[in-house]
Amino acid sequence: MFLGPVVFIVLTALMTDEQALTSRLWPDQWNWHNFAEVFARSELLTWTANTFMYASLATIFMLASSIPAAYALSRFRFRGGKAAFLVVISAMMLPPQVVAVPIYLVWARLGLTDTLWPLILPMLFGDAFSIFLLRQFLITIPRDYTDAARVDGCSDVRILFTVILPMARPAIAAVALFSFFYCWNDYYGPLLYAGVDQEGWTLSLGLATFKAFHSVQWNLTMAATLLVTAPVIVLFLFAQKVFIEGVTLTGVKG
């Protein structure tokens, strides 16, 4: 049942335009040139490069900012710590559409609209969901490890890099994949900021436009869909073990 839609997309992508969405479910002839036709009729390579840049930089920035925040919330006892954690949880519940207009005005005044930087730079300030998920994992690591390192003279920064990060690799991999997949599939953000120039579009925005222009050519639409989804499917298949392990272990202890 899970593979049914995928098989349907693959078979339709290899059909002729006349056979697509007919009662004949098996291609009369295998039209591999449909994929070449997608590249010829769109800026797919440019969209792929933009999407990869967006997803990669946003994920790197998210990890660089969220890991220290999660470490502080899980290990340090300070005044206002619980309030800070409540702020993180509250930020998870805030729909992005609520603040879309004021945030757009800020980026417009900075002259960064019509680019993807308004979607990448905010990750330098952390991601609420990633901070929450990492914090839930880090509190499961016994304090004996960090206490022993502190007795040996390690600073908090060294403890983070030499003790915590190696033990938190499953959770880090999980939040990194969550972030990468979200950015790869993000449509709302690029729709707001990418502008009208196709050279700055991502795959999700480009695929929606491609479908609008080729809505009657379902074989090309399915071929484009397969090209867009294949990379993340392959990535998940290779990383599913560490991904599932990270998501599972974050719920061990509250």
SS3 73: helix
Q: How many residues make up the chain in this entry?
A: 254
* Closest to 249 measured CA to CA, from 89, 129, 139: 139
Measuring CA to CA, how many Å separate 186 from each of 33, 139, 215? 28, 31, 21
Q: How confident is the model at residue 253 (pLDDT cuts 50, 70, 90)?
A: very low
Mean pLDDT score, 211-237:
82
* Closest to 58 measured CA to CA, from 181, 241, 161: 181
- Torsion angle defined by CA atoms of residues 46, 51, 57 and 61, in that order, rounded to the nearest 10 degrees: 160
Percentage of residues of the chain with pLDDT beyond 70? 93
pLDDT value of residue 252: 46
Structural domains of the chain, with CATH: 3-248 (1.10.3720.10)
Roughly what angle, to the nearest 10 degrees, separates helices 128-138 and 81-93?
130
Mean pLDDT score, 146-160:
87
- Of 47-51, 77-81, 150-154, 158-162, give the range with the top mean pLDDT: 47-51
Mean pLDDT score, 13-34:
84
State the alpha helices, DSSP H only, in 127-217.
128-138, 143-151, 156-159, 165-167, 169-185, 188-193, 203-213
- Torsion angle defined by CA atoms of residues 144, 147, 151 and 153, in that order, rounded to the nearest 10 degrees: 130
Q: How confident is the model at residue 245 (pLDDT cuts 50, 70, 90)?
A: low
Q: Rounded to whole angstroms, how far apart are CA atoms 21 and 254? A: 50
